[in-house]
Structure 1
Amino acid sequence: MSEFSGKSVVVTGGASGIGAAIVREFHAAGARVTILDLDPARAAALASELGANAFSGAIDVRERSAVQSAMDGVIAAQGGIDILCANAGVSTMQRSVDLTDQDWDFNMDVNARGVFLCNQIVVRHFQATGRKGIIVNTASLAGKVGAPLLAHYSASKFAVLGWTQGLARELAPSGIRVNAVCPGFVRTGMQEREIIWEGELRGMTPEAVRQEYVTLTPMGRIEEPEDVAVVVKFLASDAARFMTGQGINVTGGVRMD
């Protein structure tokens, strides 16, 4: 049996992209996976496709009451939470001088505040129940190095890594581990939108933008969501039992430090 058999795993933003790949990875390993997403119909469709031990619910990670309600629902239905994958995220793209307050707030509210709220509420559950729980946050390559046209997004993902490190130091004595993954150029719906935006801002075709991503990647291809999901599962496994506070690059060599 897998070490994840019967474990309660929650994935936010789990209905598509990297989140859906994480859901599939843990479900295949025997976990009871709850897919939480702003699009509950899409989350329910994935749970229905996976069948037994797959559940779904709605969440808006920007709102404390919504996060509390969603996590309370999982705890009541599953008897608790063992692993949280705080994956929900958004992006917009614009030159820094042209950013609006709405661009800034949207990225910060979902990417940074959302991770904070989900982590805090689940950690309180871990502490109240004596669980040595595990958290894996989704950061980004843009959380390691500032990205042109994505400065506000980069700021939000740098925040995720700073929060991950600080929280990990606080919780390490109790055996609760907190790590993050930093994906690169991943083939998702988000990327499909970004290559159009970037093409318009730089006077390039979307396909030329995508090819540039490949050129920048030493391993020579666009990253797939599954490339990230297997690393998330590793960080949640006993094989990573002495790892906490890390931001693991999963970039095909774009970033090596």
Structure 2
Amino acid sequence: MTKTVVITGAGSGIGRHIAIVLAQRGWQIVVADINEDGARATAADLDSRNGQLHEHAILDVSDPHKARQVADDVASRLGLDAWVSNAGVSYMQRFLDTPIESYDKTLEVNLKGVFVCGQAAARAMVRIGAKGAIVNTASMAGKQGRVPYLADYVASKFGVVGLTQAMAFELAEYGITVNSVCPGYVVTPMQEREMTWEAQLRGITPDKVRQLYINDTPLRKLEQPDDVANVVAFLLSDDARFITGEAVAVNGGAYMD
């Protein structure tokens, strides 16, 4: 029987690669993104050799009503076996210069979005009796504050790690597992923007920033989106059914617990 997963922020970046990897492994994907064009494009590119009927949905992850609509609709029509809360934003600025508007937007998407979507997904799973799995995208910035120019992002991702544990504890009685992944320096459009911003803040070139990231990673290379996607696939698999409340580091050793 085909399993169905909703992936937020799957129109690009890590989310898109999570969708690609899971589809290759037989999952039926609902690609959710605030950008409809990106969501539609990802859904159209997914492997459907196992008869999956992939879909896309427009979703502002901070909107409880819309999140509930998506979760309930998918659960009722397709079954809801898993949910990946991956949508995120970042703004790179010095702490002393960070406007409160950036802080509010970062937490609205990165933390409130995980709460809103996780709650909607869990309610739908409980309603249909699904012993599902939820995975939240955190960051190695959710385990350490030694991250320059990303104070609001750090705050949001620490929150995701803590929220994941709280969700896991309360949802265990329903057989729902909740874990997070903590990527490092991943090659995505978001990282390209961050390298440009950090270069400006440091007064160096983006290439030198890229080398700083590589030097900071013991495996001496930048992380690829599929490195994250493969771990998400494991956390959604039956092999991980006794793992819950974890924040799994996927960063090439750039931060070790």
Indicate conservation of the 8 Å contact 2:71/2:124, yes or no.
Answer: no
How many pairs align? 252
What TM-score, normalized by structure 1, do the two folds share?
0.95
Q: Distance in 2 between matches of 1:66 and 1:171?
A: 22
> 1:180 maps to which residue?
180
Give the gaps of 5 or more residues in structure 2: none
- C-alpha distance in 2, partners of 1:121/1:137? 14
1:100 positional shift: 0.5
Partner of 1:233: 233
Q: Residues 179-198 of structure 1 correspond to what in structure 2 (within 5 A)?
A: 179-198=179-198
For residue 13 of structure 1, the aligned residue among 9, 15, 36 is 9
Aligned position for 1:108: 107
Normalised TM-score (structure 2): 0.95
- Secondary structure of the 1:204 match is coil
The aligned counterpart of 1:124 is 123
Q: Is the 8 A contact 2:23 2:47 kept in 1?
A: no
Q: Match for residue 166 of structure 1?
A: 166
Distance of 1:239 and 1:180 partners within structure 2:
16
Output the amino acid matched with 1:107. T
Residues 196, 179 of structure 1: alpha-carbon distance in 2 compared, 3 angstrom cutoff: same
Q: Is 1:26 the equivalent of 2:25?
A: no
Match of 2:35 in 1: 39
Q: Compute the displacement of 1:42 (Å).
A: 1.3
1:76 CA displacement: 4.1
Q: Distance in 2 between matches of 1:168 and 1:49?
A: 32
For the aligned residue pairs, the C-alpha RMSD in angstroms reads 1.1
Q: Indicate the SS of the match to 2:179.
A: strand
Q: For 1:85, what is the secondary structure of its paired residue?
A: strand
1:135-146 alignment, distance < 5 Å? 135-146=134-145
Compute the displacement of 1:71 (Å): 2.2
Tell me the equivalent position of 2:94. Answer: 95
Q: Report the equivalent of 1:61.
A: 61
Question: Counterpart of 2:83 in structure 1: which amino acid?
Answer: L
Q: What is the deviation of 1:233?
A: 0.5
Amino acid corresponding to residue 28 of structure 1 in structure 2: Q
What SS is found at the alignment partner of 1:62?
coil
Return the letter of the residue paired with 1:35.
Answer: V
| Bigger mean CA offset, 228-237 vs 50-59 | 50-59
SS at match of 2:182: strand
Deviations 1:150-178 (A, max 9, x none): 01100000000100001111122321100
Structure 2 match to 1:48? 44
Distance 1:38 1:216 in 2: 33
Identity %: 47
SS in 1 for 2:141: helix
Return the offset for 1:51: 5.8
- The reply to whether residue 207 of structure 1 matches residue 207 of structure 2 is yes
Which stretch of structure 1 is more off in the superposition, 48-57 or 7-16? Answer: 48-57
Where do 1:79-94 residues align within 5 Å? 80-94=79-93
Match in the other structure for 2:73: 73
Q: Which moves more between the two structures, 63-72 or 97-106?
A: 63-72
Rounded to whole Å, the distance in 1 between the matches of 2:100 and 2:256 is 33
